[in-house]
Structure 1
Amino acid sequence: MSVLPLVFTSGWASGINAYAVVLLLGLFGATGLTDEVPGSLQRTDVLVVAGVLFLCEAVADKIPYVDSAWDTAHTVIRPVAGAVVAVLLAGGSGSLPELAAGAVGGSTALMSHLVKAGTRMAVNTSPEPFSNVGVSVLEDLGVAGIITFAVFHPVAAAVVAGVLLLLGLLVLVFLASRIRRFLRRRARRREERRPAGAGGPWPHG
């Protein structure tokens, strides 16, 4: 069976939370729920490191502005992780060239990362912190659900991941224009509240 659907889905999920992907795939492989996961992802040291980093991300991802700083630091890490996981999956199956798998996993992870980072920037324009927590929890549940689904139904999961990626890109475009309009309105209101003649030339005596 081709491993391409699992490569695509894991790439999408890696762009959102790469550590969760490594941890979940490793645990599924170690417990014998799937034969698609290579042994390198099932090693105890890999699972421990992935678990610790996942906990760090779970905390940082729910704090306003800290989440965006974390996303910026992971602009390279997540696509690279998506590519590495894809190469490992392809190497274990032999049904997909490793170079092609790395390209699919890495590019998909990059696109989903951009969606996540852009969405968080928009969410941070909200004055309250609860929206960050809600979005973060939804992302964590989404990654866990889609990876679990992919282990048992890889093709269907890949279709879902593709739809989510497309919707995310559309939402990102909508949010970008919305943020620009918000900033323009705020600047216009600031100008309207400015007293008449403020900032103008000094009157002549």
Structure 2
Amino acid sequence: MGRGLATIACVSVLPLVFTSGWASGVNAYAVVLLLGLFGVTGVSDEVPRALQRPEVLVVAGVLFLCEAAADKIPYVDTVWDSVHTVVRPAAGAWVGALLAGHGGSLSDVAAAAVGGATALASHSVKAGTRMAVNASPEPFSNIALSIGEDLGVAGLVSFALFHPWAAAVVAAALLAAGLIALYFLVSRIRRFLRRRAGRRQARGPAPRPF
């Protein structure tokens, strides 16, 4: 009987871990900020105490604003994504472990693995898509894509707190669609990388000090 209840509890927290992992790969600071605010305001009891701490909310809020700005500037967004290749999967693993520890059912290590791996996959989709978009000279695609990502993360994380399984299905569909799209965008990504390498060569080596 006890094992059956533990299995049910584990199954119930797993979709939330998966969805938060996907969202962390897109915008980790938004995930931490949203979950923390939902916990502080009493909207949901599923939020761990660690995410509700004032210092965590302040840091997440400041970094979210930084990302909101950097994410909408061509080429700056790619540099930002490069820096966050480690940050986003680590955040997904951290949030997943906290959610599992709060639920007391799923192993922290297993939750961290699910959250981190999912975050890495969605981060790869985001970073690759941005490289493809940056192959186009106009900046409006970056702005539209960034706004869409922010709204998607906010909507899906909010939805996951009340309908975790449905949200996990949506996150899985978005991740699969993103990976498929990324496969077909490889040529544009290569064009972006060649253009960036060409600009570096045009600038030439830095002058040596006398």
**Alignment TM class, shorter chain as reference:** 0.7 to 0.9
Q: State the partner residue of 2:74.
A: 64
Higher helix share: 2
Change (3 A) 1:126 1:35: same
Q: State the partner residue of 2:65.
A: 55
Alignment of 1:1-205 (within 5 A): 1=9, 2-180=12-190
Deviation above 2 Å: which 4+ runs of structure 1? 177-180
Could you list the per-position Cα deviations for residues 138-181 of structure 1 after superposition, in whole angstroms to 9, with x for gaps in the alignment? 0000000100100111110000000000000000001114555x
- Letter aligned with residue 14 of structure 1: S
- Letter aligned with residue 170 of structure 1: I
Q: State the partner residue of 2:199.
A: none
Distance 1:31 1:151 in 2: 14
Q: Tell me which structure has the larger Cα radius of gyration.
A: 1
Aligned-residue sequence identity (percent) comes to 73
How many residues of Structure 1 are paired with residues of Structure 2 in the alignment? 183
Alignment partner of 2:89: what SS?
A: helix
Q: TM-score, length-normalised on structure 2?
A: 0.85
Alignment partner of 1:3: what SS?
A: helix
Structure 2 residues not aligned, in runs of 5+? 1-8, 196-210
Q: State the partner residue of 1:202.
A: none
Q: TM-score, length-normalised on structure 1?
A: 0.87
Structure 1 residues not aligned, in runs of 5+? 187-205
Distance 1:179 1:15 in 2: 19
